[in-house]
Structure 1
């Protein structure tokens, strides 16, 4: 699985758990930490944990190494490090405070709708 396919799998998995306002930032050439940041939020601690748990399970099912997972117990900002992709699962109340999209405003945004909406053959 290449990095783009992994990013798409992460987006679809978060969407399947009803993560809200999913954003993908292309960090290549901007950050040495990762090629993509995937940012989303849940509306409660339970939902944040469900999203993070599902991402972890899907990664393990696909033999994708999880370098680190932080913040799961508090469920306010869960960070999942998948090497070239860093996933940020926020609680709704904390996402706007940290505002990673603005902090990394020079990063190109990937069209998430194109990933989660199947293309119809005409």
Structure 2
């Protein structure tokens, strides 16, 4: 599967868990660390964990194993590294504070419906 197809799977899994404001940034032309960043937020700890579990399960079923997960049951920012895809799951407050969209503004925002 291509990184774009895997991104689509991960986004669908996040949206299935009612993720808010899912944003995909193509960073393939500006950084060697990954092809896509997926950024989403949730409303509470349980939802953040459900989003993490759903994305991990969807990618695992597609044959992709997570390389690293940063964040635990009480974290308000969970980072999931799948090599070509990096998923950031935030509380709404932390997402506004860290503002990854601004940091990675040289990347190309991808319309989720175009995946």
- TM-score category (smaller protein): over 0.9
Contact 2:29 2:107 in 1 (8 A): no
* Aligned match of 2:18: 18
SS in 2 for 1:65: coil
Which residue does the alignment assign to 1:79?
A: 79
How much has 1:93 moved relative to structure 2?
1.5
What is the alpha-carbon root mean square deviation over aligned residues? 1.1
Whether 1:102 aligns to 2:78 is no
| Shift of residue 106, structure 1, vs aligned partner | 1.0
Q: Is the 8 A contact 1:39 1:87 kept in 2?
A: yes
- Aligned partners of 2:9 and 2:59 also within 8 Å: no
CA contact (8 A) 2:19 2:51 kept: yes
Unaligned segments of structure 1, at least 5 residues: 116-122
- Name the TM-score, length of structure 2 as normaliser: 0.94
Larger Rg: 1
| CA-CA distance at 1:78 after TM superposition | 0.4
Structure 2: gaps (5+ residues): none
| Cross-structure match for 1:32 | 32
Residue 28 of structure 1 and its aligned partner are, at CA, apart by: 0.8
Name the count of aligned residue pairs.
115
TM-score, structure 1 normalization: 0.89
